[in-house]
Structure 1
Amino acid sequence: GELYADVRRHRQLRGALARSYLQAEPALAGGHGPALTNYHALWESVSSLPSDLEKALPPADEWQEYLTAWARRCLREEALFRKGEARAAALLADQRRVRATLLRVMDEFGAFAPEAAAPPPPPPPPPPTDK
């Protein structure tokens, strides 16, 4: 039980960091949602480089202390927190721009054109006659 809980917490945190890598507002499991801006600030602190983030992260048994210290730092250093907010805003703007471009291209190729009405089905065959 305890090993499973530790592994699950570790996996959820890694998942939350992975989801916040390219998404402004991902759904985060395990109660990580309130820390989302802090995670964006963490990504910003390593210039959004996964290899650098990996080097900065502690072993699984030190996660709690690390996250507590990081949250305190984000509270103490307003500029750091603002960088996290700016990163999230930039990702959201990018997501919207990509979506708008995709919708425009799909529209140009007729993906949203009303389909021609299907021909009516053939009439049912006449009932058999008894002779």
Structure 2
Amino acid sequence: MSWLIAFFLMALTAAATIAFWLQETGRNWTESTLIGAGMGVVFSDGFVSIAWHLFMRLFHGAPFHVGDRVEILTDPFQGKKAEVHRLCEGRTSVIVKLFDLDASPIQPYDWAQIRRLDNQTENLTR
């Protein structure tokens, strides 16, 4: 929910800034408000996307590659170790194969639900 609030506040700030700037250049209020709202959403969406990918890289070890060892951070397999089995092209998710279970199920997980382990020692890298 905090990302949604951050996105809304950035979009609102960018929209107001652009709208006031357009108002100073001689556009009417309706036109400057609509253009400001559209540009505010575009700018804040780009910023949130960049910030999210940077956060995933710093704290979860993303982007992941086939063969990476990861720890699952969400239920029902929270705390279990797994290996990246396949990448989901065009999405920020991977298919992992669990180590600890006999019938090693293959599960899809988003980058926010897993964290990379060091391949040598199996300790968390961050």
Q: Which has the higher helix share?
A: 1
Q: After TM superposition, is the score higher than 0.5?
A: no
TM-score, length-scaled by structure 2 = 0.31
- Whose RCO is larger (CA < 8 A, sep 6+)? 1
Q: Which has the larger radius of gyration?
A: 1
